[in-house]
């Protein structure tokens, strides 16, 4: 059976994707900053490894333990809801270090084995927020739009070597830890000009009604990218994501 390595498996999309591939009989290397051995079903096809995508030593160590892999899923990431003028430099730096440079570091660690074997699949999880000029998520959008851009070029670079490359774009998913993990970066609620904009955005994000993205939608989209050689380069994951992609053209 093939082997998939997934980043950010401690919760949300990464955890559900790891469950999905395990259930389908694949070998799964579920990586997490702080390994939680009990959150996935016990299996001799499951390996849980510590991996922080912002730490090159951690990446090298995890990949040395992982052995050969067939599919890399760059899912680890976080968001921040904050007006541009109030964005802390540290928040901006962390967004790019995790979402963009973390993805780049994982690619650089894995591509040599894929190119040497003339096979392999890269799946980068970005976001449908890259498709619309939404307020308050500007630096997050930029960090994910940068991943879209580098993935587009990567697909062309890898084409001669038989390595498939895909972007999965999830929509809004209130059921994961994404919203809570963004909260420490929130700024501007004490600013009368931004307060209501930020409150409205948080309320909209948490709204469970209407079309949303479920973790299972993302797992299915990643599965399609991994297993269907005819899968599109960009795959929207979630009912809202499919709508947005259609509107964006
Ligand atoms: N939920 C949404 O609405 C939404 C929509 C579109 C796209 N996305 C994207 O989908 C991906 C997964 O998000 P999610 O919704 O599943 O959120 P989540 O539940 O917060 O999961 C994010 C995962 O990324 C991990 N992570 C964060 N920084 C990391 C680092 N430096 N190294 C390794 N792992 C790290 C987190 O680990 P810790 O537990 O250690 O923090 C966690 O496992 C992210 O890239 C996110 O930007 C989310």
Rounded distance between C-alpha atoms, residue 143 and residue 184, angstroms: 18
- What was the pLDDT predicted at 219? 99
Percent of the chain clearing pLDDT 70 (strictly above): 100
Q: Mean pLDDT of all residues in the chain?
A: 97
Buried b (16+ CB within 10 A) or exposed e, 55-73: beebbeebbeebeebbbbb
Instruction: Reply yes or no on whether the pLDDT at 144 is more than 90.
Output: yes
**The CATH number of the domain where 11 resides is what?**
3.40.50.720
Mutate which of 8, 136, 143 for ligand 1 pocket (most atoms within 8 A of beta carbon): 8
Instruction: Reply yes or no on whether the pLDDT at 99 is more than 90.
Output: yes
Instruction: Reply yes or no on whether the pLDDT at 249 is more than 90.
Output: no
Is the distance from the beta carbon of residue 120 to the nearest atom of ligand 1 less than 6 Å? no
CA of residue 77 to ligand 1 center, whole Å? 4
Q: What is the pLDDT of residues 105-116, one digit of tens each?
A: 999 999 999 999
- Which domain does 48 fall in, by range? 3-248
Rounded distance between C-alpha atoms, residue 161 and residue 212, angstroms: 37
The mean per-residue pLDDT over the stretch 127-144 comes to 97
Total number of domains in the chain:
1
Q: Write out the catalytic residue numbers.
A: 140
* Residue whose CA lies nearest to ligand 1 atom number 1: 173
Is the distance from the beta carbon of residue 178 to the nearest atom of ligand 1 less than 6 Å? yes
- What was the pLDDT predicted at 209? 84
Q: What is the pLDDT of residues 196-238, one digit of tens each?
A: 999 999 999 999 888 999 999 999 999 999 999 999 999 999 9
SS3 at position 49? strand
Is the distance from the beta carbon of residue 98 to the nearest atom of ligand 1 less than 6 Å? yes
Q: Show the tokens assigned to 202.
A: 């948080």
- What was the pLDDT predicted at 208? 83
Q: What is the pLDDT of residues 165-186, one digit of tens each?
A: 999 999 999 999 999 999 999 9
* Residue whose CA lies nearest to ligand 1 atom number 34: 8
């Amino acid at each position: 059976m093939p082997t998939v390595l997934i980043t950010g498996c401690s919760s949300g999309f990464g955890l559900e994707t790891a469950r999905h591939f395990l259930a389908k009989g694949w070998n799964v290397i579920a990586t997490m900053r702080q390994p939680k051995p009990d959150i996935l079903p016990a299996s001799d096809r499951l390996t849980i490894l510590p991996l922080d995508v912002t730490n090159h030593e951690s990446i090298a160590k995890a990949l040395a333990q992982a052995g050969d892999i067939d599919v890399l899923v760059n899912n680890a990431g976080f968001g921040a809801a904050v007006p541009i003028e109030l964005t802390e430099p540290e928040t901006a730096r962390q967004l790019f270090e995790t979402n963009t440079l973390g993805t780049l570091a994982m690619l650089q660690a894995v591509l040599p084995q894929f190119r040497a074997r003339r096979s392999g699949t890269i799946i980068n999880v970005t976001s449908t927020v890259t498709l619309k000029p939404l307020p308050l998520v500007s630096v997050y959008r930029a960090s994910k739009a940068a991943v879209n851009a580098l993935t587009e070029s990567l697909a062309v670079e890898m084409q001669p070597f038989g390595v498939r490359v895909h972007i999965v774009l999830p929509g809004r998913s209130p059921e994961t830890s994404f919203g809570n993990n963004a909260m420490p970066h929130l700024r501007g609620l004490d600013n009368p000009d931004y307060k209501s904009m930020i409150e409205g955005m948080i309320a909209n994000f948490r709204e469970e009604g209407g079309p949303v993205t479920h973790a299972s939608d993302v797992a299915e989209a990643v599965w399609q990218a991994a297993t269907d050689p005819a899968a599109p380069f960009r795959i929207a994951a979630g009912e809202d994501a499919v709508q947005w992609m259609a509107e964006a053209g």
